[in-house]
Amino acid sequence: MATAKVIVVVGATGNQGSSVAKTFLNLSTTWRVRCLTRSPSSPVSESLAAQGAEIVQGNLEDTASLAAAFQGAHAIFLNTDFWATYHPAKAALEAEKKSVEPASQKAFDYETTNGKNAVDVAAAVPTLQRFVYSALSPITKGSGGKYTHAFHSEAKSWIVEYIENEQPQLGKKTSIIYPGIYNVNRMLAPRLDAASGKYLFVLPVEKSTRLPLIDAKESIGLFVQELIEDEAPGKKLLAYDSYLKTEEIVAEWSKASGKEAIFVPISIETMHEKFGLPYELLDAPAYLSEFGYTAGIDGILEPHQLAKKVHTQSFEDWLKERNWGELLAA
């Protein structure tokens, strides 16, 4: 009997990482799962350990801990984090009544440094066969420089370019997954208008804008499995369960909830001025509405183009399973 291969999951307690860990834990005859986490005693870490995962303490700032975690790995899944740095930095600036823009640069620097650390250590692992990085669309490039404030996207795009340009041997083993918009994204949760009794989707996109949607906790791991087991390296995959127009999303939500919902378009300038939302958050929907979700990415694949069909739950079926009594009461 062949020895099981080792996949290391970086960020295994997050939405994407936990999905990858869960998927490969179900492949125990061929894969062993090693999870890198800052907190081995957290409930999620303990749950993964109970399912058979090897839990290793470490973080992306500590290259020695990465080298230990990556030792003997045949595959590595990496997802880097922008928001854990951005949100507290933004809050601190707001408390001082200062511009929040420096928070974006701080989070960008932190994420790209961490990504570089992981990439450099992975490149030196002699047993490594496959490397999968979770990225986002290159908004500045894809918009021709029109939208330049989405540092959370630019950080991941920087890491993709670093792999391709600075670690080309690792690049030959690498695939990039571009997850769609999470089903649980707050943008997809309408607010009740008390005066009319209708639910309003107030969004800075057009009704015809197509949005790729994904249940990250359930589907990401299945797509990563496909990239590792059945696809040649070098693929760039837009991972989604459903790809719907905004008006279709509103209609599906209304049908599942039993409540009337309407789409209300709004500009990012109005959202910034009226609601105080930073352009860090607003440039992305403006970009995808004007240029499309994958503008700036060469050779992107969609799920139907994969060698094997990945079976995931549609957005419509996901909505049907929601606890609407609880959601509408919130």
Report the DSSP pairing between strands 242-245 and 210-214: antiparallel
Q: What is the predicted pLDDT for the residue at 3?
A: 86
Residue type (1 letter), 77: F
Query: How far apart, in whole angstroms, are the C-alpha atoms of residue 291 and residue 303?
Result: 20
* Range list of H helices, 53-98: 63-70, 83-95
- Entry pTM: 0.96
- pLDDT the model gives residue 325: 85
Q: Is the dihedral angle over the CA atoms 120, 163, 45, 42 positive or is it negative?
A: positive
> Residues of the chain whose pLDDT is less than 50?
1
CA distance 20 to 127: 20
Q: pLDDT at position 2, please?
A: 66
- Residue 270 is inside which H or E element, if any? helix 268-275
pLDDT value at residue 106: 98
